[in-house]
Structure 1
Amino acid sequence: MAEQDNEDRTEQPSEKRLREAREKGDVPRSRDLSGAVVVLAGVATLISGGHGAMAHVRRIYGLGLDYGRDALFSDELPVRVLSLAMREALLLLTPVALATVLAALAAPVLLGGLNFSAEALQPKFERLDPVEGLGRIFAMRGLVELGKSLLKLVLIGAVLVLVMKNWQTELMGTGRGDVASGTVRAMTLLGRGALLFGTVLALIGGADALYQKYDHTKRLRMTRQELKDEAKESDGNPELKGRIRQLQFQMARKRMMQELPKADVVVTNPSHFAVALRYDEGRMGAPRVIAKGVDELALQIRLVAGSHRIPTVEAPPLARALYATTQLDREIPASLYVAVAQVLAYVFQLKQATARGEEPPKAPQPEIDPDLMGPYQF
């Protein structure tokens, strides 16, 4: 059943799943990468302070070789030499220790980022179960960790063998000659060996970091059903969303009908489409659509317009173009300026003719580019 479940987990983890895992402290970590960073930080500090380190090493060597006859028979000599040697060793190793501590704290940020989880600090007593412990050891992840450890042992061992073989003459030469030159050669070989060792660890750590990131993503993979359930949970109940959309539509429709009496003209299809326009030259850059609808809503717009004596102009192509191109409470596009200007001019002339008792002018029929009607051109 577990294998079947893993086979079904083919989808990449969602942001929500990654965030929840991070809150639990489950982030990709690589002990090999952290160890490599710590070693390289210590080596870099040791090499950068080579002259100072060399001086401390010389003093430590000198403490064991420089003493007179009186000091040799003194009871205080061992204590004095030991205290001075410990002081020099402390001065030598303190910068290295600080660098390695800082590197150990900063190394995890390279892969998993800075993360603190209180949940990860809580004790988990199920980990004390010996049966589950054996299962973890012999699981695929345990076998992979065992293989990585053996590979590291082989690589590091091979490097050490090559170092001992190629540097054998130089290592033996550190015991010849004076103390100063021997110390310099020993410290140089130590620094080169540590740098080579850190480089090997860095290569291993880089490969392990890639694997840990892949393994972390693989463990958090989801099934398609889990993705659907999560999307449903995040987006909410579809029935509730539908109800909210219905209420929003009703409120928008109510506001639209309240604004309709302010319209200057209603352009109709004549029966299927109705679009109400308003134009305030001092406040608007272009005429604005304040109401629009099709079929039943178009009929209501025409009825409200009739009750408020708002002029209605039958211009089917223009009505369909206005409905297709302009959202509610938005100004009309520049491509319809001329056509709407003809309609507004007709409305102005109609009001003047009515006031004077003259015969009403002929309603315009503006030419409209069929592409502006979108899906409503037929």
Structure 2
Amino acid sequence: MSESVDQDSKTEEATPRKIEDSIGKGNVPFSREAPIFASLLAMLTAALFLMRESGSRLVVALEQFIENPAGWSLESDSDAALLFGTVARDLAIFLLPPVAVLMVAGLVSSLIQNPVSFVGERIRPQASRLSLGKGWKRIFGMHGQVEFLKSLFKFVAIGAITFIVVSSEQGRILNAMLIEPGSLPELVLGIALRLLAAACVATVVLMAVDLVWSRLSWLRELRMTRQEVKEEYKQSDGDPIVKARQRSLARDRLRKRMMASVPRATLVIANPTHYAVALRYERAEGGAPVVVAKGQDLIALKIRKIAEEHGIPVIEDKPLARALCKSVEVNMMIPAEFYQAVAQLIHFISTHKQHYSTGNRQ
């Protein structure tokens, strides 16, 4: 009951990280019906294109053995070994091509669903696999019920197909006792082809349904609770409290570096206490004036205080201070629209340098 409640509480879709971790552990969606369908299709292909010719060769070899048994000497162990070797060779020539097709089909059906990967977690011994409770759940749980229904469908479908095909071929099967032995392989092959073709049609429907169900079931098992999503977010992106603290420390370091640059300023434009922008302009350095520090309220007062301590002119120009503070970042040159206003202030300072002290511009 508790496990059902836990599953119901997992209302959130799996995150990309949860899906990636699951795949890394070998927990991937896999349809068992795909290899079965691939095997049936491979058997049908082999029967159509390989079995007829190889079967004819096998019949010829067996006819020679049956019609002329005296031609084979069995007087010693080497004679028996030669006989068995010949029979084994003929059988191998007959069986190897279809077996190879079956192996390739099985590998391809698995590779199409998931790429090859070695996961030690899947083969590591685990005590939970010996748990009677979990084994009971696997058998009688939702997954076990679905597997039972699939097996029941296959049993009923294959049984019905076999009954229909055999009933339709009943006359030919009964007359098989009267035909030449060399014609039996063709008769058996024809019936087998009909059975395999009908089984492939029935299995392809089951495979399509199972592919969709296995994917949806896998995603459902990977669902997460809201708390799990929050915890994963904290682990991947960091705790919000820690990140806020880191941002605060970064702002403090930036503010200290900015204040350390104020003594290098050429002038400070203020408003008069709410905004302060420290500009540096040296003709030898080239370029437009650069904002070396800016701030509002307490930071603005701190900038003015440092400027006054170092004899840097502080000019009150409310519109210009507000516009510069909002438009220009620290360590950036001022835009062209501020050139004229700032140039006038710099010219004013340079012409009144000897008589200028920190104060207001009227």
Normalising by structure 2, we get a TM-score of: 0.78
Deviation at 1:62?
0.7
Contact map agreement 1:38 1:103 (CA 8 A) in 2: yes
1:91 maps to which of 84, 93, 96: 93
Change (3 A) 1:5 1:53: closer
Query: In 2, are the aligned partners of 1:56 and 1:89 still within 8 Å (CA)?
Result: no
Counterpart residue number, 1:369: none
What is the rounded CA distance, in whole Å, between the counterparts of 1:55 and 1:98 in structure 2? 16
What residue in structure 2 maps to residue 372 of structure 1? none
Q: Distance in 2 between matches of 1:94 and 1:60?
A: 13
Q: Show the counterpart of 2:113.
A: 111
- What amino acid sits opposite 2:336 in the alignment? Y
Aligned-residue offset at 1:247: 1.8
Shift of 1:59: 1.1
User: What is the aligned counterpart of 1:306 among 305, 308, 319?
Assistant: 308
CA distance in 2, matches of 1:283, 1:96: 84
CA contact (8 A) 1:37 1:202 kept: no
Specify which of 136, 150, 165 is matched with residue 148 of structure 1: 150
**Identity level (%):** 29
Q: Which amino acid in structure 2 is aligned with residue 246 of structure 1? A: S
Contact 2:46 2:97 in 1 (8 A): yes
Q: Render the CA deviation track for 1:321-349: whole Å, top value 9, x for unaligned.
A: 443344444455xxx522x1113321342
Establish whether residue 26 from structure 1 lines up as the match of residue 24 from structure 2. no
Q: Provide the C-alpha distance between the structure 1 equivalents of 2:313 and 2:135, rounded to a whole number of angstroms.
A: 84
Segments of structure 2 that go 5 or more residues without pairing to the other structure are: none
Between the aligned partners of 1:23 and 1:254, the Cα distance in structure 2 is: 46
TM-score, normalised with respect to structure 1 = 0.75
Counterpart residue number, 1:347: 345
Distance of 1:126 and 1:43 partners within structure 2: 41
Cα RMSD of the aligned pairs, angstroms, is 3.9
Deviations 1:187-213, CA, capped at 9 Å, x for gaps: 466456434433432332221121111
1:107 counterpart SS class:
helix
Q: Deviations over 1:12-54 (max 9, x none)?
A: 122333333334332222211232234434544665xx2x643
Equivalent position amino acid for 2:254 in 1? A
CA deviation after TM superposition for structure 1 residue 181, in Å: 7.6
Partner residue of 1:292 out of 268, 273, 294? 294
Compute the displacement of 1:295 (Å). Answer: 0.8
CA distance in 2, matches of 1:161, 1:284: 96
| Partner Cα separation in structure 2 for residue 182 and residue 282 of structure 1 | 106
In the alignment, the residues of structure 2 paired with residue 7 and residue 125 of structure 1 have an alpha-carbon distance, to the nearest angstrom, of 26
Counterpart residue number, 2:9:
8
SS in structure 1 opposite 2:276? strand
Q: Distance in 2 between matches of 1:320 and 1:110?
A: 64
Query: 1:337 maps to which residue?
Result: 336
- In the aligned structure 1, how far is the partner of 2:87 from the partner of 2:289? 92
| CA distances 1:272-324 after superposition (whole Å, capped 9, x unpaired) | 12233456889887655432211111112222333444454444344334433
Which residue pairs with 1:370 in the alignment?
Answer: none
Aligned length: 354
